[in-house]
Amino acid sequence: MMETALTEAVYYILLSLLTPMHGYGIMQNAETLSGGRVRLAAGTLYGALSTLVAKGWIENVPDGGEAGRQKKYRITRLGREVLEGEWNRLGELYENGRMLLKGEDRTI
């Protein structure tokens, strides 16, 4: 299903949206999770959210009709599958790196 690696921004957005939250929450969450390394700028995040909604990986959470309220998003089942696929891919990268980089420590 996956064509290629997800961008770091998309990975952290999907990961954040396992819990429904609004845009600013995603920015803060990504920064906290990555220990301050990943800062999602508002323009980048807005573009990514629109794309992900269009792809059906995330969706808007109905907000009870309160006009002008911040939009909340949550991950969809499809989004979760993509996220898990990416997690597996990252695991493979990590494992192979561990095996070859730290291979000298390995006892067969």
Residue ranges that bind other proteins, judged by CB under 8 A: 5, 7-9, 22-24, 27, 39-48, 68, 70-71
- Residues 24 and 108 sit within 8 Å (Cβ to Cβ): no
Closer CB to other proteins, 66 or 105, in the complex: 66
Closer CB to other proteins, 7 or 88, in the complex: 7
Q: For residue 85, how many other CB atoms are within 10 A of its CB?
A: 13
Q: How far is the CB of 64 from other proteins (least distance, A)?
A: 18
Closer CB to other proteins, 39 or 55, in the complex: 39
Residues 100 and 32: their CA atoms lie apart, in Å, by 30
In terms of residues, how long is the chain?
108
